[in-house]
Structure 1
């Protein structure tokens, strides 16, 4: 009888230890983050994204931007005086795809964070500038393919003549046009982005069919949270 009671007590202790371990496992990351401060928790979040990979929604695109490689470096964190907002500045090397289009970028990224329920979380995504650039590139591709010069004009930055750009002059005469982009290779600076676009343009002219492959340089400038195309390189 005594042995049964001893085993019962040992079983109770084991259950208590197991329960405590589960609680520590659940709260461990929060406790460590709180102890190390916001900088460490935010950097850990970005490094976890590197490890896990990302699938980022892109406004206006049918497919998400999916990473094959994601690497942050030279990360610095600035925390707002209220202790509830922060921004991480870093260089970002990204390789991935938007549907069938290869996307490869390098350069500056700035990720806003908000503290909620005791944890720091990205306000929008772990790569908001990258997403904004890809959204602009995809919007331009769709406008060209669908024959919407007015949409192209809205994507142009200040200093243009209100036109739709040189690419539209090439695309406009074609019937049954189809524009596909094989790749965008981009360099993100603080206020502008240089892009090399590899594309294929298909369609019909009155006298002959057209099937052209090529590459063109593009330049985007930052306007607040969005990127617009330099009218001279659109």
Structure 2
């Protein structure tokens, strides 16, 4: 029969074994990532978001852009000279929401990474191009609801700033409504390297002097990349 001293010694050994195992769970993936190089570590990071989910804060937008499910594929990594910055190109299949707006997107994503300490992490967001397109669409929705023509003009690509990109009659009809509410029910997105196509399912509510208004419909937009933003290259309406 074991003495109490033997059991105490055995318990101490067991604690050491468990602590060592926990440390290995944390350290081994990191060590393997370092040994395999930045490409493997960056790919592992992006694929890991599929399990953990994505939640991205967009500048000037209260609600986060959140995924229900998403999938990165065809990932390639270009490490810049110096070995402290890299860019990952991938296709991204995304389903999620921004507030009450449902979002489905498919297309090309470009994710800059930086080396912080010993870990490769996104320089900003894990899906910056998707975030930029969604932000442009949400800022347009808010500007329409607020009747802010200046904000609408600021969302147009260079050369179109002095107009609303066409659709003046439709815009005037929307802005004449009192107690106006403009809601995007769903955005369907297709992202290429330097441009995006968006389809919007919308609902417009408000009040005219003669009657209430409650309408639904669909619109299609084209956007182009302007540095880190996406701007509308066709009509806002």
Asked if the contact 1:103/1:185 (under 8 Å) is kept, the reply is yes
Aligned to 1:147: 147
Aligned to 1:193: 196
Distance 1:132 1:154 in 2: 14
Distance 2:106 2:209 in 1: 42
Give 1:10 deviation, angstroms.
Answer: 4.9
Matched ranges for 1:208-223 at <5 A: 208-223=211-226
Asked if the contact 1:132/1:227 (under 8 Å) is kept, the reply is yes
- Across the aligned residues of Structure 1 and Structure 2, the Cα RMSD in angstroms comes to 1.9
Distance 2:121 2:78 in 1: 14
Aligned to 1:110: 110
Give 1:158 deviation, angstroms.
Answer: 1.9
Deviations along 1:61-109, whole A, 9 cap, x unmatched? 2211111110111100011111111111001010111111001110000
Please report the TM-score for the alignment, with normalisation by the length of structure 2: 0.91
More off after superposition, 21-30 vs 44-53: 21-30
Distance 2:128 2:161 in 1: 29
Give 1:161 deviation, angstroms.
Answer: 5.9
Gaps of 5+ in 2: none
Give 1:18 deviation, angstroms.
Answer: 3.2
Distance 1:46 1:126 in 2: 7
Give 1:52 deviation, angstroms.
Answer: 1.5
Give 1:174 deviation, angstroms.
Answer: 1.2
Distance 1:50 1:5 in 2: 49
Give 1:57 deviation, angstroms.
Answer: 1.0
Distance 1:37 1:188 in 2: 29
Q: SS state of the match for residue 214, structure 2?
A: strand
Matched ranges for 1:44-55 at <5 A: 44-55=44-55
Give 1:117 deviation, angstroms.
Answer: 1.7
Distance 2:137 2:161 in 1: 20
Aligned to 1:175: 178
Distance 2:21 2:95 in 1: 39
Structure 1 residue 226 corresponds to structure 2 residue 212 = no
Give 1:164 deviation, angstroms.
Answer: 2.6
Give 1:207 deviation, angstroms.
Answer: 2.7
Distance 1:161 1:6 in 2: 81
Q: SS state of the match for residue 51, structure 1?
A: helix
Aligned to 1:74: 74
Asked if the contact 2:221/2:234 (under 8 Å) is kept, the reply is no
Distance 1:103 1:183 in 2: 6
Q: SS state of the match for residue 97, structure 2?
A: strand
Asked if the contact 1:160/1:232 (under 8 Å) is kept, the reply is no
Asked if the contact 2:202/2:216 (under 8 Å) is kept, the reply is yes
More off after superposition, 100-109 vs 32-41: 32-41
In structure 2, do the counterparts of structure 1 residues 124 and 44 end up closer, same or farther at CA, with 3 Å as the change threshold? same
Q: Tell me the number of residue pairs that the alignment of Structure 1 and Structure 2 aligns.
A: 233
